[in-house]
Structures are given as C-alpha cells and as structure tokens.
Amino acid sequence: MKSEFALAFNQICAEYGLPRDIVLDALRTALVTAYRRDWKVPQHQSVTAEVNLNTGLAHIFLEKVVVADEAALEAAEFPDTAIVLAEARKLNPQASIGDVVRLDVTPRNFGRIAAQTAKQVITQKLREAERESQFHRFSRQENEIIIGTVQSVRPRGVVLHLERTEEALMPKREQLPGERYHVHQKIRVYVLEVKRTSRGPEIIVSRAHPLMLRRLLELEVPEIASGQVEIKAIAREAGSRAKVAVASHQQGLDPVGACVGMRGVRIQNVSRELHGERIDVVLWDPDPAQFIANALSMKVFSVTPDEYNSQGRTASVVVMDDQLSLAIGRLGQNARLTAKLTGYRVDIQGVTEAALNTLQQVNESPELLDDLKEIVPLIPRLANIMHLHEEEHYPYNDEELKVIKTVIEAVKKVVIARRDRERPEAALLRKRRSAQQQAQVERQEAIALARKRVPPEAYERKLSTLDLAEKVRRHLIRNGLQNVGEVMERMALGDESLLMLDGVGAKALREIKAAVENSGLHFVEPASEIAEEEAETEAAPAAPEVAVAPTEAEASPEAVPAPTEGEAPAPEAVAPPAEEADSESDFPFQLEEIVEEMEDVLVEEEEEELPPITPVKKKKRKKKSRTLVYDEETGEMIAVRHRRRRSSDTWEDFEDDF
C-alpha cells in the first residue's frame, strides 16, 4: 500500500503534467537549499539530498574527500571538505585516499523545520519546469489547429483557455470580421506563434490567417491529407471570401470535386467553421491564361498574359458585357482575389470596350499593320460589326465573337512584342527568367538524385532518434524537416542546402553531420554510377604516354622542315570556330554580354538626360579695410576706410577717409 507521501507526489506530477524525475529533482534541490540556509553551510561544501518515495523520509549527505592524516587535512584548501582515512574507514571499510565518502547529517527535526523553507523553492522549481514543458509542447504545435475555450473578451483581444493553466491570445487583427465570441464558447484556432517570456509561454492564435483555411481543408478532405490533392495557392479575405487553387497527383481524380464533396458537404463544413466565409475551389493549371480564367470562377472570353510589363506581370481579361460586374465582383473583390491567387495584375474589360480600344489603337498606330498581315482583312469587318452593334444594339453571334476575339488577341500580342523589342531590359529579363527556369529544372534533377541516395528506412525514423540538441531539432522542424530522410536529402545536395535553413549555422551543421553518421545510416550510391566507375577503371591505360613540350627551336617556323618533292605538305592546324565553342556551354546566355548591354543602356541614358556641366569661376572679392569709430559729437558710429596712397609703394602710410 502506497504511503501518503507517494500519493501526494504522484498527484503533483499529474496536476502539473510533469515527469516524475523533474519533480523529484525539484524536491531534492529544495531540501538542499533549505539545509544550506538553516545550517549555514558554505557554498564550497557539496551537499546532496535523497528522498524515499515509499516512506517520504529525506536524508542530507555531505560529500568529503579522503586524505591520509591530520597534516594532509590541515594542508587542504578547504579542511571542512576533507576527512581523515581512519574516520572514513568507519563509514566505508573499502574507502581509500582520494575517494569521496558521504556523511549522513540529517537533523533530527529536519522534516518539520525545512518544510516551510523548502515550500517556496519547490513551488518555484515546479513553475519553471511547467513553463518549460508548456513552451516545448506548444512550440511543436505551431502552424497547427487546436481547440480553445473563450475565457474572456478584452479590448486587446480574446483570451482562450487551452489546457490546464495554458492561455492563448487572439488579437483583433487575427479575428474574423463580424464574428462574435461568447464566454465558454469552444472554437478552433490556428497557432500562429509561441513566444518565450518571463511569465511563461505567450501563445498567439488566429482565425484570419490563410493557413487556417489550409489546415481546415486538410482535416475535412482526406485526399489533401494523403497527398493525392495538393493546394497550390490560397487567397483569402477573412470572413468574406476566399479562393483555393488545387491540383491532382492521381490520374482520374477530380481535385475540385474532392474538395467540394458530395452536394458540397465538405466545403460547407469548412465555410460554417469560418463564420459563413464563401470559399471558391478552382483548378490550378500550368498555363497562366487558363489558370487566370479558372480563378475568376466564370466563363471568360479572352485572356492575354503580359509577363514583362513595367508594372509587373499583367493579364488583359475580356468578358461579355453583361458579366463585367460579376467578373470584377463587389468592390472589386473577385478581381483582387484573382490577382492574389495567380500573381498577375488583372485588367478586366467588356467585349465592346475591348474591341473599340483595339480599333482605336490600330488607327493611332498604323505601323502595327505590318505585323498583322494575317488579320488585316478582319479589321474592317470588326469596324462594321461594332458600327451595327452601336446602332441596333443586337447581341453578338458566334461568328462575330470569333472575329472580335481573333483581332483583340492578335493586336495585344503585337503591341507586347513591339514593346519588348524596343526595351533592352525586356530581353535581359527574358534571359534571366529562362536561366531561372533552367536552374529550377537542374535543382529538381539534383533533388531526385539526392533522394535516390537516401536509404528508404531513413524516412521512417524521426528526428528525435538523432543525437541532436533540442534547439537544433526545433530549427529543423520549423523549416519543415520531419524525419531523418529529409535531412539526408539536404546533406546530399551539399552543405549550402542545410546552411540556407533558418537558424542553422556552421556549428549546427557539424552537429547534424555527426549525428547522421552516428545513426548508422549511410548514403546509397546508384548502381549506374558504380558501373560507370568500374568501366572507367577497366578501360584506363596501364602506362599513359606523357606529352613533351617542344623546345623553342622546334617551335619556331624556321625549324619546320620543308616538304620534299613528291611529298604532300603537312596540313595546317585550324582553330575551331568561336560559335561552335560557345554552343557547347549549357548556360543560356553570357554574363559579359548582359553587363555590356546594361552599361550601354546606362551610358545612353546618362548622355541623354544629363546636360553638359560648365565650370563656373568664382571671382575673388576684395576685402575692404574698415574701422568703426564712435563720434562723441553726433553720438553715432562712423566707418573709417583706410586707403593706400598712390605715391607710396609700401603699405606703411595710410590716410583716413571719413
């Protein structure tokens, strides 16, 4: 049968949610502190405490070093920390010189006297341990959804009760507009940030963050949680409307239908959780024009993307006249969310307005017709269609709409192409974008090769199995690494891949490498590389010939022997053309050419804008020698100038001029 002390000890562990070792260590520390305070034990004396969990009895021990005799005891730096060998043998017959023995110095009434002294220390230690445990527990729940109970509604935000004594704060900016909160109401929130403070962890939660919508969809849609459907982008105006772009990684699976659910059950549950927020699920497409058309959630007449616009990536969208207000949305919300989702600035026009602008643009710039030879016959026809429509106001038929669409798209593409040809920056931007795309492809290939080198069992082992510091492990988890396999992928890509992670430096890199090496996991070399290395080893010549450089006499043209009669002259060495040498490089453009082009552009701009600077010579002002003299008769100050006499060649003689 357990004692009252053991029951109380277990109750404390359960209430604070702490391991038994932490509580027991706090109790020992409190007992040692109480003994040092009440019995005036110096700090250089080592004191330990032992507690019997079954009986609840506590014992205090002093640790002393065994010395040979009294002379050695007096010669010690701290005599009270040493003990003579003869006395040590009484406590431990096996003791020898240099050993440490423990003396039981527990006072007779220590339990009752030290209880009050140790109470405060135990409480403080338990609070510190509880705060540390709370911080570690909730730091692992960052970017996740938890359930909280509304405890109070304050001007600075809503205070939520989470578990036991934990509280979270939801500021005003993170609340859904128009949503009211009541005390004891249970709501789902997104853990935005966990801060370490002197009063414990400060937990900031949100219901307006875009990732809140992502986590709710992952909970509601099993296909997203399993990876069959991927959320590509989210654009959200909390409490009002949101757009989600999804794509499928499984053939035959409709990602939009999977997210909406049968009769819209899944998306309605998410919308109900977000206080009736309207959610549009659209299909992601690699083609920007099609993706923009899908993001508008309506039938679009024409879309023309402009990648290199000076104001950023722009898309010219044309819709039917009766759907123009629907495409723009209430207060421009639909167009604004579409721009956030796709990354393009959307310019929406009606069919009639776009056609009239196109005709006006052709009339103002007749040189565009040189690049519009294929559709030149359609331009008068388009003018006739617009004239008849303006007079009779009849709807467009299919043939007329086809003509309008062809002319509008052709003119816009020609205008964009002409502008890009006139701007040298656009060519550089295209080259840069192509280089970025090629670098992205090469990175994907490098990642695929790195994954082949990682053993499959590494993905099944968690980061907790590695011998890493808690701080380094938290940095890896915060950067999205969940298992050892993902860490080894970064290692296979090179040290820079790990150093790019937030919080990982040179010291942490060495610790991660050492932990992976000690884990027993090793990189797997692909069979193709091993076969190539063996083939190269077998095909290597046993004794390669060493080329000897010719001497100056041999290299000179006079030393070359002339061909004899009947002997063909030696062929001359022909250098390969420069174009063939440059074509071997996989890099899409040369950096020197870009720098030269940029310098030419900058030089031209400086020559056109800056006017010539003419030096201005400043004239030296001649100082005049003056003296102020007070006139007693008039009571005023009079300036007296000193002038040099013409007849004098020196400055010794002056005359006063009043």
Q: Same domain, yes or no, for 123 and 146?
A: no
φ, ψ for residue 194, nearest 5 deg? -125, 115
b/e 576-606 (16+ beta carbons within 10 angstroms → b): eeeeeeeeeeeeeeeeeeeeeeeeeeeeeee
Tokens 């109750």 locate to: 11
Question: 96-110, 320-334, 449-463, 574-588: lowest mean pLDDT where?
Answer: 574-588
Q: Residue 658: which residues within 8 A CB-CB, separation 6 or more? A: 638, 640
Residue 637 confidence class, pLDDT cut points 50, 70, 90: low
Residue 579 has pLDDT above 70, yes or no: no
Check if the beta carbon of residue 189 is closer than 8 Å to that of residue 207: yes
Q: Same domain, yes or no, for 185 and 86?
A: no
Q: Same domain, yes or no, for 123 and 153?
A: no
Model pLDDT, residue 446: 85
Q: How far apart are CA 147 and CA 16, in angstroms?
A: 20
Q: Are strands 200-206 and 167-171 parallel, antiparallel or unpaired?
A: parallel
Q: How far apart are CA 465 and CA 486, in angstroms?
A: 14
Look at residue 51 and give its three-state secondary structure: strand
Question: 93-107, 380-394, 475-489, 527-541: lowest mean pLDDT where?
Answer: 527-541
Mean pLDDT to the nearest integer, 13-23: 77
Mean pLDDT to the nearest integer, 92-112: 81
Residue 111 confidence class, pLDDT cut points 50, 70, 90: low
Query: Where does residue 127 rank: exposed (0-12), middle (13-18), buried (19+ CB within 10 A)?
Result: middle
Chosen domain end from 208, 235, 250: 208
b/e 262-300 (16+ beta carbons within 10 angstroms → b): eeeebbeebbebbbebebbbbbbbeebbebbbbbbbeeb
Q: Which two tokens mark 445?
A: 């290939």
Q: How far apart are CA 601 and CA 16, in angstroms?
A: 69
**Amino acid residing at 48:** T
Check if the beta carbon of residue 210 is closer than 8 Å to that of residue 252: no
Q: Same domain, yes or no, for 122 and 171?
A: no
Share in percent of the chain as helix, strand, coil (round to 5) = 50, 20, 30
* Whole-prediction pTM: 0.55
Model pLDDT, residue 599: 46
Model pLDDT, residue 632: 63
Range of the structural domain that residue 42 is part of: 4-132
Q: Same domain, yes or no, for 154 and 53?
A: no
Which CATH number belongs to the domain containing residue 441 in this structure?
1.10.150.20
Chosen domain end from 518, 553, 580: 518
pLDDT > 70 in the chain, percent: 76
Tokens 């909390």 locate to: 238
Check if the beta carbon of residue 408 is closer than 8 Å to that of residue 362: no
Residue 589 has pLDDT above 60, yes or no: no
Model pLDDT, residue 472: 86
φ, ψ for residue 209, nearest 5 deg? -75, 145
Model pLDDT, residue 585: 39
Q: Determine the distance from the C-alpha atom of residue 417 to the mean position of all C-alpha atoms in its chain, rounded to a whole number.
A: 35
Tokens 């009986």 locate to: 55
Model pLDDT, residue 285: 94
Between the ranges 54-58, 275-279, 443-447, 631-635, where is the mean pLDDT highest?
A: 275-279
Q: Same domain, yes or no, for 67 and 111?
A: yes
Residue 555 inside a domain? The answer is no
Q: How far apart are CA 205 and CA 176, in angstroms?
A: 12
Q: Which two tokens mark 588?
A: 């899409």
Residue 355 inside a domain? The answer is no
Task: Classify residue 261 as left (phi > 0), alpha (psi -120 to 50) or beta.
Answer: left
Mean pLDDT to the nearest integer, 144-161: 92
Residue 30 inside a domain? The answer is yes
Q: Same domain, yes or no, for 481 and 437?
A: yes
Model pLDDT, residue 648: 43
Residue 196 inside a domain? The answer is yes
Q: Same domain, yes or no, for 101 and 121?
A: yes
Stronger pLDDT, 388 or 589, i.e. the higher one: 388
Model pLDDT, residue 466: 85
Residue 124 inside a domain? The answer is yes
Residue 279 confidence class, pLDDT cut points 50, 70, 90: very high
Give the pLDDT confidence of 509-518 residue by residue, as tens digits. Answer: 888 888 888 8
Q: How far apart are CA 63 and CA 46, in angstroms?
A: 6
Q: Same domain, yes or no, for 470 and 506?
A: yes
Model pLDDT, residue 611: 47
Model pLDDT, residue 170: 94
Q: Residue 267: which residues within 8 A CB-CB, separation 6 or more? A: 259, 260, 261, 279, 281
Question: 331-345, 372-386, 440-454, 570-584: lowest mean pLDDT where?
Answer: 570-584
Look at residue 68 and give its three-state secondary structure: coil
Q: How does DSSP classify residue 500?
A: T
Check if the beta carbon of residue 174 is closer than 8 Å to that of residue 129: no
Chosen domain end from 518, 540, 570: 518
Model pLDDT, residue 82: 87
**Amino acid residing at 10:** N
Q: Same domain, yes or no, for 115 and 98?
A: yes
Check if the beta carbon of residue 239 is closer than 8 Å to that of residue 177: yes
Q: Same domain, yes or no, for 9 and 108?
A: yes
Structural domains of the chain, count: 4
Q: What is the DSSP string of 512-531?
A: HHHHHHHTT--PPPPHHHHH
Model pLDDT, residue 231: 94
Stronger pLDDT, 522 or 532, i.e. the higher one: 522
Residue 191 inside a domain? The answer is yes
Which CATH number belongs to the domain containing residue 79 in this structure?
3.30.1480.10
In the chain, the largest separation of any two C-alpha atoms, in whole Å, equals 132
Model pLDDT, residue 20: 82
Q: Same domain, yes or no, for 29 and 116?
A: yes
Residue 459 inside a domain? The answer is yes
Between the ranges 23-32, 327-336, 645-654, where is the mean pLDDT highest?
A: 327-336
pLDDT > 90 in the chain, percent: 30
Model pLDDT, residue 161: 92
Residue 10 inside a domain? The answer is yes
**Amino acid residing at 372:** L
Query: Where does residue 232 rank: exposed (0-12), middle (13-18), buried (19+ CB within 10 A)?
Result: middle
**Amino acid residing at 391:** E
Give the pLDDT confidence of 371-380 residue by residue, as tens digits. Answer: 888 888 899 9
Mean pLDDT to the nearest integer, 181-203: 89
Model pLDDT, residue 602: 42
